[in-house]
Amino acid sequence: MKKSIVVPAVLMVSVFVVGTSEYLIAGLLPQVAADLRVSVPTAGQAVTAYALGVVIGGPLVTILTVRLPRKGLALGLLLLFSAGNAICALAGSYELLIAGRVVASLSHAAFLTLALLLVTRVVEPRRAGTAIAAVGSGFSVATLLGVPVGVLLGEGAGWRAPFAVLAVLTLVVAGLLAAVLPRQDAPATGVRAELRTVVRPRVLLVIATTAVGLAATSTVFTYLAPALTGITGFTPAAVSILLLVYGAGSLAGGLIAGRLADRSLAVTVRGTFAGLAVVLMIFPFALPWQASAVLAVLAFGLLTSATTPVLQSLVLRHAGDAPTLAVSVNVCAFNIGIAAGSALGGGLVAVDGLRWLGFAAAALSLAALAISYAAVPRRTPVPVSASRLVRGG
């Protein structure tokens, strides 16, 4: 089989495992709280601890490992991730659970960054957007399949069981990656080159676009289930099915956007945020009726995940020969945007603004659109070759 097919597939599965671990804990909080004898809000700090580990640890780990051979680093990060999940599976105390989450999170941003860069090594430069979307689709599959299955396993066999399974799956994926990934030499660029790249104006603009754009989607998505039950009148079981619809839309949207980004990155970036703004503005008016709410959720899913491949492709275009830290910081910007959007949505919900979250989110999407005009030049730079990307990261 061609490595241009096998390597992206294995990397996608790796991202699926990482994404499942990140979101799984949220569905198991009641069981974790009861077993470890803490409150549900306290157990929820396991989510916060992971997010902070990604945002703070991601760039730090990336800087510390920037001169290491790429294949060895990828395998080492997966082993660290497996160890973190194993600690969670064996945790007999709340403190040990938090420690396991932090250990796993330290490899999250660095591995995702590496996966996005490695996949460009085995495809033609003109197909970089499609390849990035394929690898990134692992997160959509994690939301669509991995998390629900993990929660069901946790409910039946105890909350530690899915973490133990993830620890083993990570080792299996590491073995597959060791078999299919070609040896990658240490990058020629150093920390100074990476730091110079990440502070380039256009790179910073892309990172800002990412943070604001993800804040837009998170403002609505965080409170999507309460809105669908409280305003639309769906039952909790129906909401679960609708979240599958959202996940299916996300998977399709990411893959479609990746292909479009290969044709015209500027048009895809702007079209994504413009379309997202329109859907979000319509959202408050679609919620009272079930048929229109279903369509709105599907369109929302399609456009939400479309942001990921286009923004990562944009970072790669602007980063040149030293993209590693820039991509890592952009991964962190996704998490910062998600946290900010959740906080904004929570504040609006507290003042009875649940139905009208779409308006605030649409304003953020328009802001991301405005920033993207500065981030994307009229003539987008020609993609650097796959080999240059790997040497740079």
Q: Are residues 217 and 94 in the same domain?
A: no
* Biggest distance spanned by C-alpha atoms of the chain: 58
> What CATH number corresponds to the domain at position 30?
1.20.1250.20
User: Is residue 133 within 8 Å of 257, Cβ to Cβ?
Assistant: yes
Q: Are residues 61 and 149 in the same domain?
A: yes
Say if 185 falls within a structural domain. no
User: Is residue 380 within 8 Å of 266, Cβ to Cβ?
Assistant: yes
CA dihedral 360, 363, 369, 372 (to 10 degrees): -80
In the block, tokens 């082993």 appear at: 79
CA–CA distance from 270 to each of 265, 314, 324 (Å)?
9, 12, 25
- The SS3 assignment for 1 reads coil
Q: Are residues 134 and 244 in the same domain?
A: no
Note the pLDDT of residue 393: 35
Domain of residue 251, residue span: 191-392
Q: Are residues 176 and 201 in the same domain?
A: no
Q: Are residues 61 and 8 in the same domain?
A: yes
Note the pLDDT of residue 45: 78
Of 126, 150, 180, the residue at which a domain comes to its end is 180
Residue type at 241? Answer: I
Of 180, 214, 249, the residue at which a domain comes to its end is 180
User: Is residue 212 within 8 Å of 362, Cβ to Cβ?
Assistant: no
Of 160, 180, 200, the residue at which a domain comes to its end is 180
User: How far is 174 from 339, CA to CA, in rounded Å?
Assistant: 30
Say if 109 falls within a structural domain. yes
Say if 356 falls within a structural domain. yes
Say if 59 falls within a structural domain. yes
pLDDT digits over 206-239, tens only? 899 999 998 998 888 878 878 888 899 888 778 7
For 307, the token pair is 């942001």
Q: Are residues 167 and 203 in the same domain?
A: no
Note the pLDDT of residue 196: 81
Note the pLDDT of residue 68: 82
Residue ranges for the chain with pLDDT beneath 50? 1, 380-393
Q: Are residues 311 and 354 in the same domain?
A: yes
Q: Are residues 296 and 250 in the same domain?
A: yes
Note the pLDDT of residue 383: 44
pLDDT digits over 107-133, tens only? 888 888 888 778 877 666 667 777 777
The number of folded domains in the chain is 2
Name the residue among 98, 88, 55 with its Cα closest to residue 164.
88
Note the pLDDT of residue 307: 79
